[in-house]
Amino acid sequence: MKIAIGSDHHGVAFKQKATVLLQSLGIDVVDVGAHSATEPCDYPDSAKQVGHLVSTGIADRGLLICGSGVGMAITANKFPKVRAAVCDSVDLARLTRQHNGLNVLCLSGNQWKQQDLLPVVQAFVETEFEGGRHQRRIDKIAEIESEVCAARPCAE
């Protein structure tokens, strides 16, 4: 599995810890930045890169960290085939993977203790999409996405 990981300055420290965890699980990590916790940067820059990598299939999944996680999710969801959400618990990470096929996990670099988020990341990578009735719903999301993209150009 290949995971693209990105952050703004609020998420750099956790991104480094998450990278160590992911690599220990045998996952290939593509770090798109940021690399400085003291130099402010804009969350859409990393979210755009991760969204593109997941949307095009270059990365299987993505992990984004900013102050709240919300800006990252909003930006990543602009890309076709990306299903990004903020999850703050192991149960929510598992459920969104199983039922929604979540492929970009967004986290808050400010709201939670970093050690509490590592199990959330692990649940995200170890949980598989259940398919079945959930696939029908994912297909409906893809259909809506296609209709919207047919009406106006969508990012690739």
Nearest-angstrom CA–CA distance, 72 and 77: 8
Nearest-angstrom CA–CA distance, 78 and 15: 22
Beta strand ranges found along the chain (DSSP E): 2-7, 28-31, 61-66, 84-86, 104-108
Nearest-angstrom CA–CA distance, 8 and 88: 18
* Count of other CB atoms within 10 angstroms of residue 56: 12
The C-alpha torsion from 15 through 17 and 20 to 26, rounded to 10°, is: -70
The C-alpha torsion from 135 through 139 and 140 to 142, rounded to 10°, is: 140
Q: List the one residue out of 22, 95, 96, 105 whose CA is nearest residue 66.
A: 105
* Residues designated as active site: 66, 99
